[in-house]
Every structure is written in structure tokens, then in C-alpha cells.
Amino acid sequence: MPDTESSRPIRSLKGRVAIVSGAGSQGSGIGNGRAAALLLAEAGCDVACVDMNAADAERTAEMINAEGHGQAIALSANVTSEQDCKRAVSEAVKRFGRLDILVNNVGIMGTPGTALEVDMAQWEDGMRMNISSMVIMAKSAIPEMRKNNGPETAFWRGSIVNVSSVAGLLGGAPSLLYPTSKGAVLNLTRAMASHHAKDKIRVNCICPGAVYTPMVNHQGGGMDEEMRKSRAEMSPLKTEGTGWDCGAAVRFLASDEAR
Ligand SMILES: NC(=O)c1ccc[n+]([C@@H]2O[C@H](COP(=O)([O-])OP(=O)(O)OC[C@H]3O[C@@H](n4cnc5c(N)ncnc54)[C@H](O)[C@@H]3O)[C@@H](O)[C@H]2O)c1
């Protein structure tokens, strides 16, 4: 166990390496994954930006490299594919030499409908996207995290942050798939946290409320001002959340400060 002096937490993530899934953010906006990738890199972390949309992942990597803190690469991968996830992890490790942080950010609203209406084939696809993808990424990422063995691993060898939603805590969404899958992310996180603690791998999740990201904008067909205002009204502070709010929470949970 380190002594009191050396147990002082540091904010810097220099020397650490992260994979952020869904880091592409649909165009030029700031989604939760892009914000997390940028903020991790701002703390000095090197980041592999994974997205199924190669151009969007590339854009995030360019933004990071232009800022000149941590370095970034873009990797095109579909997180529902075991082969793609394996390749993404191995390319990240090949480029940066290690892996410390995994941010499982990909998630979709998925198929609409109540239990009476929902299409079961689309239900399975949505569950694979919102839950199974997190396990698939972890399968490849955890063995790499377990190899970390330097003095920087005194408190943590790896850190996984899953992105759930307030819908996963409270239900209350018009569809069945989204709150069900996001609720499952909570217990997935609890179970994984207990399984991997012995390897000094921490597993946490964030449950964002209504944040204005490209996903919300696109699905709303371009959300109008009135709709944005009514979402903001749901918050006690009467403010609309942004991708940055989620990114900051991810960075905190990923780091020494949340050890
Ligand atoms: N926006 C909100 O209000 C809100 C609220 C709570 C939780 N969340 C959660 O935050 C996470 C990110 O949401 P966002 O609003 O930033 O979305 P976003 O659409 O802005 O970004 C998601 C990214 O994931 C990528 N992606 C989608 N499917 C993929 C796949 N199979 N493989 C690889 N990449 C894939 C997309 O190309 C996109 O770049 C999701 O898990 C979402 O459920 C969002």
C-alpha cells in the first residue's frame, strides 16, 4: 500500500490510454463520446476514438490532435461485432502500448413501442447495441488492463465507464427498449465492478439526464427551441445539459480522483 504522500491523487492522465466508443458524434456537434474523448485527452490521456462512422471518429481525433495534449487515433468499428472490438483494442494497444480506460458510450434509443407493439427482432438488435456491446468491448479490454504493472497502478490498473441514462434509473420513457436496456447497464456495472476489483479494475457508470447532443437533435428531426426549453424545465436548475457535462463526469470516474 503506498504511503500517505504518494497516495495524493493527481488530475493528469498522462501516460494512460483510453478507448472511447461512439466517439464520433454525428458530424460537427459535441456528443457525449466526443466530449469524453476531448476531456480525457485534455488531461493528457492518449485516446483511441472508436466509431462505426469512420469520418466522424477521424474528426474527433483531429480535434484532439489539434489541441496538443494527449494524442489520438481514429478507429472504425461496429461495437456489436466481436471481431471489430478485438481489432479496435489491438490497434489501440499497438499504437499506444497499453490500455487503461474503456468508455462504453455507444447507445441508441432503438425500436419504439410498448411490450404490445415492440418488434422482437429489433428488440434483440437494440439489446445487443445497448448492453452486449459493453461486454464485448470489455472482453478484449480487460486482459490488456490486467497487464499494467507500473507504479502508476498502485490504486487502479484499469477503469471502465459505462454510459447508462436517467431512463435506466427511473423508467418513464415512451418505449420499452431504452429504459430496459439502460437499467440493465446499472446492474452490469455493479456485477462487473465486483468481478474485476481484484484486478484493480474499477467499473462505474453515468446516468445522464436530458442533454442536447447530435443524437437527440437528429432523432427529434432538428429539435425546436420550444422542445429544448421544455426539456430544460424538467431539470431543477432549469438548464439543458450538454455532452461536456457527461464528458466531465466520465473523466472524473476514469481518473485517479475517483479511485
Ligand atoms: N443525449 C441524451 O440526452 C442522453 C441522455 C442519457 C444518456 N445518453 C446516452 O449517451 C450515449 C451517447 O449518446 P449521444 O447522445 O452522445 O449520441 P450520439 O449519437 O451523439 O453519439 C453516439 C455515437 O455512437 C456511434 N455509434 C452508434 N452505433 C454504433 C456502433 N454499433 N458501433 C460504433 N459506434 C456506433 C454513432 O455513430 C455516434 O457517433 C448513449 O449511450 C446514450 O444512450 C444520452
The CB of 129 under 6 Å from ligand 1? The reply is: yes
Distance CA 25, CA 116 (A): 32
- The pTM assigned to this predicted structure is 0.96
Of 96, 156, 178, 212, which residue is the catalytic one? 178
Residue 1 pLDDT class (50, 70, 90 cuts)? low
Residue 178 annotated in active site: yes
CB 153 within 8 A of CB 256: no
Over residues 9-65, the pLDDT tens digits come to 999 999 999 999 999 987 789 999 999 999 999 999 999 999 999 999 999 999 999
**Of ligand 1's atoms, which has the minimum distance to the CA of residue 241?**
3
Buried b (16+ CB within 10 A) or exposed e, 23-47: bbbbeebbbbbbbbbbbbbbbbbbb
The CB of 105 under 6 Å from ligand 1? The reply is: yes
* Strand partners for 158: 201
Distance CA 155, CA 186 (A): 23
Task: Tally the C-alpha atoms within 13 A of residue 15's C-alpha that lie toward its C-beta.
Answer: 11
Distance 169 CA to ligand 1 centre (A): 18
CA dist list (Å): 182 to 37, 130, 143, 164:
21, 7, 25, 5
Distance CA 9, CA 24 (A): 30
One-letter amino acid for residue 207 of the chain: C
Average pLDDT score over residue span 183-207? 98
Over residues 84-120, the pLDDT tens digits come to 999 999 999 999 999 999 999 999 999 999 999 999 9
**Of ligand 1's atoms, which has the minimum distance to the CA of residue 214?**
20
Distance 172 CA to ligand 1 centre (A): 19
One-letter amino acid for residue 124 of the chain: E
**Of ligand 1's atoms, which has the minimum distance to the CA of residue 80?**
31
The CB of 106 under 6 Å from ligand 1? The reply is: yes
Over residues 240-257, the pLDDT tens digits come to 999 999 999 999 999 999
Residues 6+ apart with CB under 8 A from 42: 67, 69, 70
Distance 129 CA to ligand 1 centre (A): 10
Over residues 11-23, the pLDDT tens digits come to 999 999 999 999 9
